[in-house]
Structure 1
């Protein structure tokens, strides 16, 4: 059943990725003897053998109870080990119910602890940006974490639940990623280094990503010649050829963005020029695992600029800029008022220039923050933008902004 399902996903007939959890709520599905796959927002791979249970990734605080119930329906063996593919909260919060009777040994890269410390330091900020990204206004960011018991720097081999876990460190979406290979089953566990959409290495609201290092990790994983790959988001992939294709084409897609961006950066181009020039390889556009539905290419370019070029974007006006509201007020005065800017935004929107419409609507709202009509226009512009975007990142920000201005307009008494 899982092989047939995975084949449909491979062919683009079903969706299962970090955006669409196609098998969520279906419990633990057998992959091979002693290996089960649990689908959720943060997949979990369970191993049973030698009277032990081990988990690769442990899901989120929101699904820990369901994970425990589903795994217990599959195996009654005590949890003796768990592995974090990295420290994002949808991968590290599921051991609690298992550890009520016995503490497990948790393995992770040494940088996971520093991530947890940063999460505590910036818990308020992380709550805000994840509320916006996932449209979850009630989300509260956790400040207590289950720290790993055993950490490593470059590589580590562990024997648990009757199988071997060959672990190695990689950089990509995070700086604390662990990849695991289980030779007994020729099984690759890439964590979030493959998520069935374009790589999440440009997220505009999150910390630094590492696109070039991600390319290296993809090549290293492809060289393992695995027969089964179980990502931490999205469907399994079966078969050496398919796994190699998915990993190497993802590497090609990402390396193209890296090369184009670095070439332009080294030529002295401004960030604005680079963002609007670099494009991914056209011949990979139809791949079901390379759709820009979560992150997107221009965000990757900005992240590369941040990594290699700092925060100055090449525009001297942005080095020590006027406050946004001051600039917006000056432009509104030149245009004849904030309402004129709002009208111009609607005109740009009607002509299909949503990017320009966004600039004009935002300036109008900054220049006249208590004008209900202006907020109504801002809400319309960004609602339209959200509806026409493919990536969850852009949809999240634009939807949040639209809702924000709708609330302002209603509070200020704008006419419908």
Structure 2
């Protein structure tokens, strides 16, 4: 597709959006899409973040730089657009798909005998990269599970920013003025950038064309209320163009205002209802069950829960204010799952009986209860064939039922683990909706 076709497709996504079908399948590698004569963004196929390129009289400012795997395509897209030297790189945050393509820019500068680009980031990026180094194996494991990538490798080299800022930084380069703002949201090191002369806001992952990723169950704390405040601050600038962290740019002041307001409202509603429940002394389980979003909110094309899940956001708000204790005293110092599984299995009359009970709840569509029961059986007898078959069936059904990538990844991983435990083919998960007792 041409640049203009992609921009038109991005506009069409406002009315009807399927991130995989309507956007990703039309991208080839990393494609640059003009915004105006001196401003463009690059969208990459898959889950890699957008890159924004700002032309100045002195060279280029690049906001984000892609991943290790997309850096080459991004660099080519930039060079097809401009041969000016890359003077400055701004990290919107320190995630792998946004801040790991800079070494290629450094190498280009060195080869040309120029200074490396100045990399700018919010001060908390330093702490993030240090944490990544301390927990590299853990991060490899959870990201491999989340994105269903076997053998996922976590990087061991990091391009730290040359310049750190705290809350706000004004950047004047080659006749253009950019203002960098710190915000808390998906991360604590996020930057959103206001490009004054183009009335353009570059949001990073504050906007991702999906329900905000403020609840990821496998990652560090996220910040729903602060995220909403950052979106309100962007809206106060009255931008005419919004370049998100993922997905198509949004053009037109009215659409941008609507997007920012709806996304902020989504976060505020979940935060407010969760905190109200906590103040009333309710347990986490009750609050998760009771929090409700306005009808139709998740049907908006930019708020589909395709990545994160509103239920996970509730849990993260609880974690921020209330720690990990969920109000159930049995969970304060719980029994080991193996011990609890054996006790429940004994009460049920053995793993066969418990697996059959899980199957009955599965057949009735009660997947959450079925998930507990088959998990008890497998915890009690890890190699039990029937229990593992039912556990695989329950978790593959749950994966198919969920909309969020995070839930799909965890449930699929559990199903795979049960099949591996009994030496059965993982492909059987995808040949039907069930793998239960009768299979």
In which range does the TM-score fall when normalised by the shorter chain? over 0.9
Indicate the structure whose relative CO is greater, using CA pairs within 8 Å and at least 6 residues apart. Answer: 1
Provide the residue aligned with 2:126 in structure 1.
113
Matched, 1:178 2:191: yes
Aligned-partner SS, 1:96 = helix
Provide the residue aligned with 2:287 in structure 1.
274
Give the one of 384, 389, 395 matched to 1:371.
Answer: 384
- Mapped partners of 2:206, 2:28: distance in 1: 20
Matched, 1:332 2:332: no
Matched, 1:303 2:290: no
Matched, 1:5 2:9: yes
Q: How does 1:113-132 map to 2 (within 5 A)?
A: 113-132=126-145
Give the one of 37, 40, 44 matched to 1:36.
Answer: 40
Matched, 1:211 2:224: yes
Deviation at 1:345, TM superposition (A): 1.3
Give the one of 259, 262, 269 matched to 1:246.
Answer: 259
Deviation at 1:51, TM superposition (A): 4.6
Give the one of 61, 78, 82 matched to 2:85.
Answer: 78
Moved more, 57-66 or 303-312: 57-66
Task: With the length of structure 1 as denominator, give the TM-score of the two structures.
Answer: 0.96
Distance of aligned partners of 1:185 and 1:16 in 2 relative to their CA distance in 1, 3 Å threshold: farther
Deviation at 1:24, TM superposition (A): 5.1
Provide the residue aligned with 1:258 in structure 2.
271
- Mapped partners of 2:72, 2:236: distance in 1: 37
Q: How does 1:77-96 map to 2 (within 5 A)?
A: 77-96=84-103
Aligned-partner SS, 1:53 = strand
Query: Any conservation in 2 of the 1:3–1:238 contact (CA below 8 Å)?
Result: no
Distance of aligned partners of 1:13 and 1:199 in 2 relative to their CA distance in 1, 3 Å threshold: closer
Provide the residue aligned with 1:383 in structure 2.
396
Aligned-partner SS, 2:182 = strand
Aligned-partner SS, 1:114 = helix
What CA deviation, in whole Å up to 9, does each residue of 1:283-339 have, x standing for no partner?
423211111111111100000110001111110111111111101110000101111
Deviation at 1:161, TM superposition (A): 5.2
What CA deviation, in whole Å up to 9, does each residue of 1:24-64 have, x standing for no partner?
52521212102121112111011223151221011111211
- Mapped partners of 1:209, 1:235: distance in 2: 24
Distance of aligned partners of 1:220 and 1:21 in 2 relative to their CA distance in 1, 3 Å threshold: farther
What CA deviation, in whole Å up to 9, does each residue of 1:132-151 have, x standing for no partner?
00001121111210000111
Query: Any conservation in 1 of the 2:58–2:173 contact (CA below 8 Å)?
Result: no
Gaps of 5+ in 1: none
Provide the residue aligned with 2:163 in structure 1.
150
Aligned-partner SS, 1:108 = strand
Provide the residue aligned with 1:65 in structure 2.
72
Give the one of 358, 364, 374 matched to 1:345.
Answer: 358
Q: How does 1:131-170 map to 2 (within 5 A)?
A: 131-160=144-173, 162-170=175-183
Gaps of 5+ in 2: 110-115, 426-436
Query: Any conservation in 1 of the 2:92–2:98 contact (CA below 8 Å)?
Result: yes
Distance of aligned partners of 1:415 and 1:161 in 2 relative to their CA distance in 1, 3 Å threshold: farther
What CA deviation, in whole Å up to 9, does each residue of 1:220-244 have, x standing for no partner?
1111100010011111000111001
Provide the residue aligned with 2:31 in structure 1.
27
- Mapped partners of 1:131, 1:295: distance in 2: 16
Query: Any conservation in 2 of the 1:348–1:357 contact (CA below 8 Å)?
Result: yes
Matched, 1:55 2:62: yes
Query: Any conservation in 1 of the 2:298–2:305 contact (CA below 8 Å)?
Result: no
What CA deviation, in whole Å up to 9, does each residue of 1:111-162 have, x standing for no partner?
1000000000111110110000000112111121000011111100112354
Q: After TM superposition, which residue ranges in structure 1, 4 or more long, deviate above 6 angstroms?
A: none
Deviation at 1:411, TM superposition (A): 6.5
Q: How many residues align?
A: 414
Moved more, 145-154 or 95-104: 95-104
Query: Any conservation in 2 of the 1:373–1:409 contact (CA below 8 Å)?
Result: no
- Mapped partners of 2:197, 2:159: distance in 1: 29
